[in-house]
């Protein structure tokens, strides 16, 4: 074979493996779609639920927000479960939980019953929010990992967009969310039942993708890991990559939650970095911008009927800027994007705080005279752009790749649980903050955006182009033995991955 033919063959193999890695990552990212869909689908049903069950403002808010608590619980337990039973099986479990939440919410007969099923669905979303970024990072080639990891955020914002569209379609078809649609059930029930479609797609497609090669090596099945790596890397580096993974898993026990313990307030420093990344992503107030967007639009003259259309347009903007982030993240890196985002959010949030010093009225009746109203709306949309191109996708990428193989699932579980709790805290405290004044609320989020800038400068390390096995140096592997064979797995424990996801064992080293 000539040199030209060898280059052509190598290019052809890279194209095939890149396409395979993209398809596998896209399936895993459907968990992010469930995340976004569940977050947004309640918006179209909330008024009908309030009237149907005669809920007080507190009861209504709790019924809506309890899904976030369920997500925190799901995220907390997802890491240990994924280390025990594998990434793919836990994806399927998340799909089942989400489907159960959809059916229960759609057929609910009491407010407490609805809250219960919202919690169950939230657990599924929380599990998916941990597994998707971890799995995508573990199957992605280093040069593609940022872009493939960003698929999680793209799926989230796409899920939000599709949920808003389906809500609008069902409400318009019935003549209102509280009007009967099919089989005598009101439209708001069908809004919840539509969640069955992405849940079923996630569960079925998850069974078609291979298990994580890092998990397979940890379970003592390097032959199956080689098969998976060959699909996403090609045959050239498979053996060396398996050795690197084995070296990074050079402990005498399986990954467990206690591995993340350290001297920094009980946790390893790198775990605290992941937790604070998650918390800052929420404490800059991104969800508040979406929740309060109706008031902003009405304050400059839009009618209430136009609010949903504007919200859909905003969600489309979010999708577009996420695509921009995907194109940039493996070129300019994670840390520069975070710094750009923090600076942009600080400026735009600060501008919104200044604008609301001119507000007339209070609470939901606030309005802004011109030109302050228009200026606030421009600032709000620019804020969404800065968040969507930076902290939205980049945090999920970093959480999937910044931890070593030994602690990835456990550390990501803790960080994701912290993110859901922060989301719940911000969402439930905003009405009280708004009563104190929107200037105070947006000023507080401005302060967190400024703090996030200095936090990134000091504590966040660039991971662009680095192999996952190189992340061990962040948690102290310099002092470990150079190579320790992985823990032998008893015969009874072998083959815990589904048969379709395991390779055929080979009698000797892979010479491909």
Q: Are 317 and 384 in contact (CB under 8 A)?
A: yes
The reported pLDDT for the residue numbered 236 is 61
- The torsion angles phi and psi of 267, rounded to 5 degrees, stand at -130, 160
The answer, yes or no, to whether residue 437 has pLDDT greater than 90, is no
Residue 506: which pLDDT band, with cuts at 50, 70 and 90? very low
Average pLDDT over residues 311-317: 77
The reported pLDDT for the residue numbered 488 is 46
Q: How many CB atoms lie within 10 A of CB 426?
A: 23
The predicted-structure confidence for 400-417, as pLDDT tens digits, reads as follows 888 887 788 788 888 988
Burial classification of residue 52, based on how many CB atoms lie within 10 Å of its CB (0-12 exposed, 13-18 middle, 19 or more buried): middle
Using only C-alpha atoms, the chain has a radius of gyration, in whole angstroms, of 24
Residue 491: which pLDDT band, with cuts at 50, 70 and 90? very low
Q: How many CB atoms lie within 10 A of CB 126?
A: 30
The predicted-structure confidence for 98-129, as pLDDT tens digits, reads as follows 999 999 998 988 888 889 999 999 999 989 88
The predicted-structure confidence for 84-94, as pLDDT tens digits, reads as follows 888 899 999 99
Kindly state the percentage of the chain with pLDDT values over 90: 20
The reported pLDDT for the residue numbered 308 is 62
Strand, coil or helix: 264:
strand
Q: Are 164 and 312 in contact (CB under 8 A)?
A: yes
Q: What share of the chain is helix, strand, coil (3-state, %, to 5)?
A: 75, 0, 25
The reported pLDDT for the residue numbered 176 is 75
Q: Are 186 and 11 in contact (CB under 8 A)?
A: no
Burial classification of residue 451, based on how many CB atoms lie within 10 Å of its CB (0-12 exposed, 13-18 middle, 19 or more buried): middle
The predicted-structure confidence for 131-175, as pLDDT tens digits, reads as follows 888 888 888 777 777 788 778 878 888 888 888 888 888 888 888
The answer, yes or no, to whether residue 377 has pLDDT greater than 90, is no
Q: Are 64 and 250 in contact (CB under 8 A)?
A: no
Residues facing 264 on adjacent strands: 267
CA distance 374 to 322: 25
Average pLDDT over residues 263-291: 85
**Which secondary structure element, helix H or strand E, spans residue 262, and what is its range?**
none
Most confident range (mean pLDDT) of 241-255, 265-279, 487-501 is 265-279
The reported pLDDT for the residue numbered 469 is 60
Cα atoms in the 13 Å half-sphere on the side-chain side of 259: 27
CA distance 214 to 422: 30
The answer, yes or no, to whether residue 223 has pLDDT greater than 60, is yes
Q: How far apart are the first and last CA of the chain?
A: 17
The predicted-structure confidence for 67-79, as pLDDT tens digits, reads as follows 888 988 998 888 8
**Which secondary structure element, helix H or strand E, spans residue 217, and what is its range?**
helix 213-218
Q: Are 480 and 250 in contact (CB under 8 A)?
A: yes
CA distance 341 to 153: 15
The predicted-structure confidence for 323-374, as pLDDT tens digits, reads as follows 888 888 888 888 999 999 999 999 999 998 998 888 776 655 667 778 887 8
* Residue 250: closest CA among 218, 216, 212: 218
Average pLDDT over residues 204-211: 89
pTM beyond 0.85: the answer is: no
Residue 10: which pLDDT band, with cuts at 50, 70 and 90? very low
Q: Where in the chain is the domain with CATH 1.20.1250.20?
A: 13-209, 262-475
380-397: b (≥16 Cβ within 10 Å) or e: bbbbbbbbbbbbbbbbbb
Q: What is the DSSP letter of 480?
A: S
The answer, yes or no, to whether residue 441 has pLDDT greater than 50, is yes
DSSP 353-405: HHHGGG-BS-GGG-B--TTHHHHHHHHHHHHHHHHHTTHHHHHHHHHHHSS-T
The reported pLDDT for the residue numbered 511 is 34
Q: How many CB atoms lie within 10 A of CB 462?
A: 12
Candidate CATH numbers 1.10.10.10, 3.40.50.620, 1.20.1250.20, 1.10.357.10; the one for domain 13-209: 1.20.1250.20
- The torsion angles phi and psi of 437, rounded to 5 degrees, stand at 130, 135
CA distance 367 to 15: 54
Residues facing 267 on adjacent strands: 264
> Any idea how long the chain is?
512
The reported pLDDT for the residue numbered 490 is 46
User: Hey, what CATH class is 262-475 in?
Assistant: mainly alpha
* Residue 309: closest CA among 407, 172, 147, 154: 172
């Amino acid at each position: 074979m000539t040199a030209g033919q060898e280059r052509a063959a190598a290019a052809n193999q890279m194209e095939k493996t890149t396409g395979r890695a993209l398809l596998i990552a896209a399936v895993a990212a459907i968990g992010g779609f469930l995340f976004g869909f569940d977050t947004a689908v309640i918006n179209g049903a909330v008024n009908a639920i309030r009237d149907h069950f005669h809920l007080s403002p507190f009861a209504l808010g709790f019924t809506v927000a309890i899904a976030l608590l369920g997500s925190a619980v799901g995220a907390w337990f997802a890491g240990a479960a994924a280390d025990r039973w594998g990434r793919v099986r836990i994806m399927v479990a998340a799909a089942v939980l989400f489907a159960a939440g959809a059916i229960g919410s759609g057929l609910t007969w009491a407010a407490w019953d609805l809250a219960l099923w919202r919690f169950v669905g939230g657990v599924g979303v929380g599990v998916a929010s941990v597994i998707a970024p971890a799995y995508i990072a573990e199957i992605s080639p280093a040069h593609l990992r940022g872009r493939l990891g960003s698929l999680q955020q793209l799926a989230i914002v796409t899920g939000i967009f599709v949920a808003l569209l389906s809500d609008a379609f069902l409400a318009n078809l019935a003549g209102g969310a509280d009007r009967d649609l099919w089989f005598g059930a009101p439209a708001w029930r069908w809004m919840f039942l539509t969640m069955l479609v992405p849940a079923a797609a996630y569960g079925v497609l998850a069974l078609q993708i291979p298990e994580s090669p890092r998990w397979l090596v940890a379970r003592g099945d390097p032959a199956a890991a080689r098969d998976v790596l060959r699909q996403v890397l090609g045959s050239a580096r498979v053996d060396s990559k398996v050795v690197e993974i084995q070296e990074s898993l050079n402990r005498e026990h399986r990954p467990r939650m206690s591995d993340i313990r350290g001297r920094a307030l009980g946790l390893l420093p790198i775990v605290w970095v992941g937790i604070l990344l998650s918390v800052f992503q929420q404490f800059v107030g991104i969800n508040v911008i979406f929740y309060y967007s109706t008031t902003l639009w009405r304050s400059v003259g839009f009618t209430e009927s136009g609010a949903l259309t504007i919200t859909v347009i905003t969600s489309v903007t979010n999708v577009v800027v996420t695509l921009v982030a995907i194109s940039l993240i493996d070129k300019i890196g994670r840390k520069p994007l975070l710094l750009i985002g923090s600076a942009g959010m600080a400026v735009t949030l600060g501008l919104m705080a200044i604008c609301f010093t001119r507000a007339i009225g209070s609470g939901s009746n606030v309005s802004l005279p011109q030109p302050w109203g228009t200026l606030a709306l421009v600032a709000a949309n620019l804020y969404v752009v800065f968040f969507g191109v930076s902290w939205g996708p980049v945090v999920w990428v970093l959480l999937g790749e910044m931890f070593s193989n030994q602690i990835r699932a456990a550390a990501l579980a803790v960080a994701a649980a912290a993110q859901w709790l922060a989301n719940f805290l911000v969402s439930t405290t905003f009405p009280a903050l708004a009563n104190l004044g929107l200037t105070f609320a947006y000023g507080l989020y401005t302060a967190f955006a400024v703090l996030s800038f200095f936090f990134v400068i000091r504590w966040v390390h660039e991971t662009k182009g680095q192999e996952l096995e190189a992340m061990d140096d962040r948690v102290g592997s310099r002092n470990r033995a150079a190579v320790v064979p992985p823990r032998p797995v008893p015969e009874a424990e072998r083959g815990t991955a589904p048969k379709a996801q395991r390779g055929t064992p080979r009698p000797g080293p892979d010479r491909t």
